[in-house]
A and B are shown apart, each in its own frame.
Chain A
């Protein structure tokens, strides 16, 4: 079967750095997305990786290792507004999006 694993919940301190991991086992790979979802709201796009390496976008970076079936989302200089769920999703060989259950990130002052 296809599987996406993310930690259920993480806690971090305002101003700090946090890394949210995502491991996947899918039938093929055609890219990996990270989305942010604030409570009661719709998911919004953060990043897309299809090649190995690090993609940086402001305070957020996303890393991919296809050989290890592994990605992480790195959030720097955490702000209270970063409290949200972070969803990892992989595009499989049939171009179907397989979603992880999401990681709830709690930011403390």
Chain B
């Protein structure tokens, strides 16, 4: 089934640990995104990628890094997790950055203690 797959779906992590959230899409979309969603706030963009090999910073990039080695994969890394990074993380993709509908993964619920 075509779509976006995120892993893990849920994780509890000790502060200071390194964590990578994985995201894979099989729709051959050019653009990919990482958002975090916190209660009472809108989705906030962490990082994005317009196409394989390029990445950019979103609204809340500090403490996070991404890479886009190929079209399908867009992992998000927390180098040293802090409690304020407790959130639900959504990966999304679209045909192009400037256009159209976003397709979202099912989300990764991360708790940093």
Contact = CB atoms under 8 A, between A and B. Distances in A.
Nearest to B58: A96
B40 A101 contact: yes
Contacts of B44: 99
B45 interface: yes
B41 interface: yes
B26 interface: no
Interface in A88-108: 89, 95-102
Interface residues of B, number: 17
Contacts of A87: 42-43
Q: Which one of A33, A43, A98 has the greatest number of beta carbons of chain B within 10 Å?
A: A43
A4 B42 CA distance: 9
A82 to B, nearest CB: 19
Contacts of B40: 8, 101
A95 B104 CA distance: 18
Interface of B: 40-45, 90, 97-98, 100-107
